[in-house]
Structure 1
């Protein structure tokens, strides 16, 4: 009975770690990881973006977001500036180098999606997304 109780959570954890490890290998040539590539895409999509807005969209603690942004700033991919509208907040934007990575990251993600999920018909992929969203909703 214990194996059945743990089966879903265990498999979800194993698969997530395996996908993350695979994605890390693919992102390494760009000096990105599964921990920070998402910031590049999110900032590119929503620029200008305040650091507080980023906290809310990424579902990480402010200290984790700050640490990962610092890594991307050190790599020359992200800039952080005081907001002109509100001197108390910070806005984050991609540098030209960061913007140049966006299509490369998107190609890597498309390939990893194909490698990981390509054997699933599009209907099952869509159902999987819906199921994961439902799980996320149930835990919110």
Structure 2
């Protein structure tokens, strides 16, 4: 008998890995990877943020966030500047170069969404998203409890 959780994990893993391959391929000429574009998206949506805010939005390790942001800065997509309200902290902002590729990134994401959601209704997508969110929040809660012990 098949294990429903194993099947769920397998399909989530496949979808995630194939998406990474797709993003890496589609944005290759821009030198933007699947581990970097997510930070550009949040900066497009929010303007200026700091590194800690970006880490907590995505529940990503601070070290991994720092490495991705350093690469984006080196490539000229983001810039750092002192936070006016906290002189010990730095804010991150998009550069002109990042603004020039915004439409391309969003169109790439839209194309992926259309590809994977053919014949899936909006209601089904909402239910999948809601269910995965609940499971993810429980997983975060459990791993946070483990880290506290």
Q: Same fold (TM over 0.5)?
A: yes
Runs (4+) off by over 4 Å: none
C-alpha deviation, 1:78, in angstroms: 0.2
Structure 2 spans left out of the alignment, 5+ residues: 141-149
Taking the aligned partners of 1:19 and 1:44, their CA distance within structure 2 comes to 20
1:81 aligns with 2:81: yes
- Aligned-residue CA RMSD (Å): 1.5
The match for 1:106 is 106
Instruction: Describe how 1:58-137 pairs up with structure 2 within 5 A.
Output: 58-137=58-137
C-alpha deviation, 1:28, in angstroms: 1.5
Taking the aligned partners of 1:18 and 1:53, their CA distance within structure 2 comes to 27
Taking the aligned partners of 2:97 and 2:10, their CA distance within structure 1 comes to 39
Q: Summarize deviations over 1:29-60 as a string: whole Å, max 9, x none.
A: 22111111011110121122122212211211
Taking the aligned partners of 1:31 and 1:7, their CA distance within structure 2 comes to 34
Q: For structure 1, which segment, 4-13 or 102-111, has the greater mean C-alpha deviation from structure 2 after superposition?
A: 4-13
C-alpha deviation, 1:85, in angstroms: 2.0
Structure 1 spans left out of the alignment, 5+ residues: none
Alpha-carbon spacing, 1:60–1:98, altered in 2? closer, same or farther (3 Å): same
The match for 2:20 is 20
TM-score after normalising by structure 2: 0.86
Contact 1:19 1:116 in 2 (8 A): no
